Amino acid sequence: MELIDIGANLAHDSFDADRDAILKRAVAAGVAQIVITGSSQESTGKAIELSRAHPGVLFATAGVHPHHAADLTVDTLPALQALARDPHVVAAGECGLDYFRDFSPRDLQRRAFGWQLGIAKATGKPVFLHQRDAHDDFIAILREHGIRHGVAHCFTAGEKECDAYLELGLLIGITGWINDERRGLHLREVVKRIPADRLLIETDAPYLLPRDIKPAPKTRRNEPAFLPYVVRAIAAARGETPETVAANSTKAARALFGLPARAESSQ
Ligand SMILES: [Zn+2]
């Protein structure tokens, strides 16, 4: 299987001590390429740095997560715009709305989201989207900006939200949430609605460790090498083989992010 992890927070400091080992384990598990999530200006810078060190294997997104929306101001926006134009950056975001945690005021979340959709349009890059408990505002802002090119990452919602995203033209990213036998059961139904060429796979590492890893790693830290668990859970839900899910999601990821068909480097 040749897999692409479209959402791994490899800039996270929990990987600082053993990032090279993490990358080796990912390759050994069949993860050929990884898109590193930029969720702040700092993590975006780090994601770009890592992508430069591993050309053709690692790629970056450039964005500010809704939790940090208050950090994106008229003064800091130009720096993010510059980061987004870097050739290693394959998407604008992670951006969106999170009304579940409300770590930033909602008006500032909407402003930061709109700005980043503007960056996506200016650069011609797809958007890497985050949404929690904010579906109506989220869809309205996407429509207002005429966004049809991107991925709703870490999708955990229901049929209504899934259909709305598909109708907009977005792809859907599925994480190890689907492996969760307590809160992921509805996703096993919803995932059947996603056309094969619109379904992407991701770990969201270091978060969302698949619950069916036995024995679970003591650290509870997720990593790209665990992506095959997500593939198998999706395959079981859709009645497909893991190889089919892998091949289709890899093809869809390359098409959306414009990734090369083969890694240029074996690092
Ligand atoms: Zn997210």
Measured in angstroms, how far is the CA atom of residue 177 from the centroid of ligand 1? 12
The answer to whether 34 touches 90, Cβ cutoff 8 Å, is no
Measured in angstroms, how far is the CA atom of residue 251 from the centroid of ligand 1? 22
Q: pLDDT value at position 265?
A: 47
Rounded mean pLDDT, 180-187: 94
Measured in angstroms, how far is the CA atom of residue 96 from the centroid of ligand 1? 9
Taken in order 163, 167, 168, 170, is the CA torsion positive or negative? positive
Q: pLDDT value at position 263?
A: 53
Q: pLDDT value at position 236?
A: 98
CA angle 221, 52, 42 (to 5 degrees): 60
Q: pLDDT value at position 50?
A: 98
pLDDT in tens, 117-131: 999 999 999 999 999
DSSP annotation of 176: G
Measured in angstroms, how far is the CA atom of residue 27 from the centroid of ligand 1? 24
Q: What's the pLDDT band for 245 if we cut at 50, 70, 90?
A: very high
The predicted model scores a pTM of: 0.96
Q: Which are the contacts of 47, defined by CB distance < 8 A and separation ≥ 6?
A: 10, 11, 36, 37, 38, 58, 60, 61, 62
Measured in angstroms, how far is the CA atom of residue 74 from the centroid of ligand 1? 23
Q: What's the pLDDT band for 267 if we cut at 50, 70, 90?
A: very low
Measured in angstroms, how far is the CA atom of residue 241 from the centroid of ligand 1? 27
DSSP H or E run through 33: strand 31-36
Helices (H) and strands (E) in the chain, counts: 9, 8
Measured in angstroms, how far is the CA atom of residue 94 from the centroid of ligand 1? 7
More confident residue, 266 or 119: 119
Amino acid, single-letter form, for residue 130: H
| Ligand 1 ion: nearby residues, β-carbon < 5 Å | 130, 154
Q: Is the pLDDT of residue 150 over 70?
A: yes
Measured in angstroms, how far is the CA atom of residue 38 from the centroid of ligand 1? 10
